[in-house]
Amino acid sequence: MRDVLADWQPVIDDAIAEVLPREIDEQYLADFFGAPTYAYDPDAIQQALSDPIWELLDRGGKRWRAVLAAQLFEGFGADPTDYLQYAIIPEILHNGTIIVDDVEDGASKRRGGPALHLEYGTDIALNAGNAMYFLPLKIITRNGGDLDAETRLEIYEMLMYELNRTHLGQGMDIWWHNEKEIQATEAEYCEMGACKTGCIGRIVARLPAIITGQTNEVEQRVAEYAEQMSIAFQIGDDILDIEHTLDQAGEFGKEFGNDIREGKKTLMAIHAAEHASASDTARLEEILWADTNTDEEIMEAIEIYQSAGSIDYARERAEAMARQARERLPDEQLDPAIAERLAAFTRFVIERDK
């Protein structure tokens, strides 16, 4: 899986560079955004958009959303290299959310470097992140000649459905951070994941299904595959945060005990609140709620998770979600070799850093 991702990355980055070049000039601006009424300032756009965005992309990231979209195009019998311009849409959206999330969370690090807002300022970073919400949507229009009007509209309506739910998921997650009591249920947690992470996953899956003309049922099945896998990924990410804290591995690009410091109501926190003793739950809520935590407090919270069996439970749920994701794959409509690879993805997302 790692090889597949590594093979695709340069090709995907080339496709992104066609939409947002590393070097901005007037010609690109006029072609992509339309002729100016007066005069663009290409140098300002270079510094305000291209430089920060390419810095983030060049720091890494596996581009798995674009790779997965490319695989789905191939699975549906299309040559994925003909559709890379569409495969990068969810990838750019995702990287935009990373910049915005880091501002929202006051994060200090990202992909081994300072969070973008610390390097470029909140203003530049945030505008670049938000530009990445709209820039990829322009691709549908810009290359509209490739897609008929009905398909373009179907894509826009799909995108508006998914991108609205993204903000519901993020809103739920943030609000829970800001509450002391752990009130969310497991179902609400799963919905949060389905919206916050899952909606961009669903875009990954629905775009190739729409563009290659699959039935609504097939589109729905791959959307569910991506949604379940995204929730599994989200839970896996939360487990990784704990595991890396236990390993004290500083190379993860995140802080020690990051999720606990942020007060994130992970599935582990929700499970612990339901299964730990009242005093452990109260202590856990205390630690998650505090503005700052000592390393000892971080370890104390993790021990509460461990003794309530919450880490194991979360791992089981992630595995079950990944299994459900595999079952949603419309195997009969997919090239068998690709179907196998898509199934392998569901394992990869929860085992990726072991």
Which residues contact a copy of itself by CB under 8 A?
Answer: 29, 33-34, 36-41, 44-45, 47-49, 100, 103-106, 121-124, 126-128, 130-131, 133-135, 137-138, 140-141, 144, 149-150, 152-153, 156-157, 160-161, 163-168, 170-172, 174-178, 184-185, 187-188, 190-192, 194, 198, 227
Residue closer to a copy of itself by CB (options 44, 320) is 44
**Shortest Cβ distance from residue 154 to a copy of itself (Å)?**
9
* Residue closer to a copy of itself, measured from CB, 157 or 351: 157
Between 200 and 304, CB nearer to a copy of itself: 200
Q: Residue 257 carries which DSSP code?
A: T
Which CB atom, from 71 or from 170, has the smaller least distance to a copy of itself?
A: 170
Alpha helices of the chain — where are they, by DSSP H?
2-19, 26-33, 42-45, 51-58, 64-75, 84-105, 116-120, 122-142, 149-177, 186-196, 198-211, 216-247, 258-262, 267-275, 278-289, 295-307, 310-328, 336-351
If the CB atoms of residues 80 and 90 are measured against a copy of itself, the closer one turns out to be 90
Length, in residues, of the chain:
354
Is the Cβ–Cβ distance between 290 and 297 less than 8 Å? yes
Comparison of 116 and 338: residue with beta carbon closer to a copy of itself:
116
Tell the smallest beta-carbon distance from residue 48 to a copy of itself (Å). 3
- CB distance 305 to 257 below 8 Å: no
> Least distance from C-beta 338 to a copy of itself, angstroms?
25
Tokens of residue 232, six digits: 């599994």
CB of 130 to a copy of itself, least distance (A): 6
Q: How far is the CB of 301 from a copy of itself (least distance, A)?
A: 21
CA-CA distance, 32 to 20, in Å (whole number)? Answer: 9
Nearer to a copy of itself, 161 or 316 (CB): 161
Evaluated on CA atoms 105, 162, 90, 319, the torsion sign reads positive
SS (H, E, C) 104-118: HHCCCEECCEECHHH
- Helical packing angle, 2-19 and 84-105, nearest 10°: 90
In the numeric block, the tokens 């800001």 are attached to 178
Cβ 102 to a copy of itself, closest distance in Å? 11
Instruction: Tell which residue, 145, 141, 162, has the closest CA to residue 209.
Output: 162
For residue 244, the minimal CB distance to a copy of itself (Å) is: 23
